[in-house]
Amino acid sequence: MKINPKKYLLDIDCYSKEEILQIINDSKIMMEILNRKVKKIPTLRGKTIVTLFYEPSTRTRISFEQAGKILNADVINIATKESSSNKGESLLNTILTIQSIKADLIIIRHPHAGAPYFLAKNSEIPIINAGDGSHAHPTQSLLDLYTIHNNIGQIENLNIVMVGDILYSRVARSNILGLSILGANITLCGPKTLIPNEFLSKSQLFNNITFEHSLKKAVNNADIVMPLRIQLERQSSGHLPNLEEYSKHWCITNDILKFAKPSVKILHPGPMNEGIEISSEVAHGSKSLIKEQVTNGVAVRMALLYSMLNSESKMSLEE
């Protein structure tokens, strides 16, 4: 456990390649704890973690709560609909209030890109970005990197294909950064209306990233295929004729995966729209790592909480 403690995790590029590899390594240790019969260690006893989610979440929120509780932290979940933000309190004043009750770390999800950056500039408390608009979702990216590394043993030079709504996907943005830092080859595939312009032609800036319009060509020789949910809640209009049309061209099915490497693995950040971006057979089939991603998310978040809150003293991972 040698990560330099960070006060803020705003996006994955807060970490260097070496630090990301260290988190992957530390997550393996945390996975051993997660698999124990009694999964509880006293490491973060006396620390208080607050989750503050202004957008819905299943996986991210409960896995942070699970991670904090296994490490013996106290975890307070704020339901923003029932908080004073509903009475007009500003985001900054909400954070300053949480700071005043002596919380040690805030995990925030917010619909506005940049909200966690604003808070990092204007408050003292450590912050983890659990998703800000279409911008970034660094802990999802770290758990994806961990899952790939744990299954294949490396990330460098792998062929990773992301399919679908890249434009509005914070997971895609953080994964493009994380996979690039670790040296993967990235292919983006989907309707041109859902691919950011800078990725449509290969440029010096992104020389490890290719856009491929044909799904069959995109998955050719793929090690990992990652379909993304269409973020209907973020789209204004006009990006797609309709979802049936989308699934006819871009849905990841067993037939499409015949064009990939026989060893290809499937990741999906969730929540899934089965039958739209991924078939049920693929989602729950032998190539799918989707359930494993969720389990890995707890171990990765344990490693992060440990690294961010445990800087003052050397503590034990013993029960």
Binding site for ligand CP (CB under 6 A): 57-60, 131, 137, 140, 269-271
Which pair of tokens denotes residue 74? 């106290």
Q: How far is the CB of 143 from ligand CP (least distance, A)?
A: 9
CA 220 from centroid of its chain's CA atoms: 25
Q: How far is the CB of 11 from ligand CP (least distance, A)?
A: 14
Cα 250 from Cα 189, distance rounded (Å):
8
Of the pair 57, 288, the CB lying nearest ligand CP is at 57
Of the pair 111, 271, the CB lying nearest ligand CP is at 271
Q: How far is the CB of 289 from ligand CP (least distance, A)?
A: 14
Cβ-Cβ contacts under 8 Å for 137 (sequence gap 6 or more): 60, 129, 130, 131, 170, 171, 173, 174, 269
Of the pair 126, 269, the CB lying nearest ligand CP is at 269
Q: How far is the CB of 43 from ligand CP (least distance, A)?
A: 24
Q: How far is the CB of 226 from ligand CP (least distance, A)?
A: 12
Integer Rg of the chain from CA = 20
Encode 168-207: b = buried (16+ Cβ within 10 Å), e = exposed.
bbbbbbbbbbbbbbbebbbbbbbbeebbeeebeeeeeebe
| H helical segments located in the chain | 17-34, 59-70, 91-100, 115-122, 138-152, 170-181, 215-219, 243-250, 254-257, 280-283, 290-309
Of 140, 170, 146, give the one whose Cα is nearest residue 26.
146
Half-sphere exposure of 179 (CA within 13 A, CB side): 28
Of the pair 41, 290, the CB lying nearest ligand CP is at 290
Q: How far is the CB of 37 from ligand CP (least distance, A)?
A: 27
Q: How far is the CB of 13 from ligand CP (least distance, A)?
A: 19
8-state DSSP, 239: S
Looking only at the bridges linking them, the beta strands covering 185-189 and 48-53 are unpaired
Of the pair 41, 252, the CB lying nearest ligand CP is at 252
Of the pair 149, 301, the CB lying nearest ligand CP is at 301
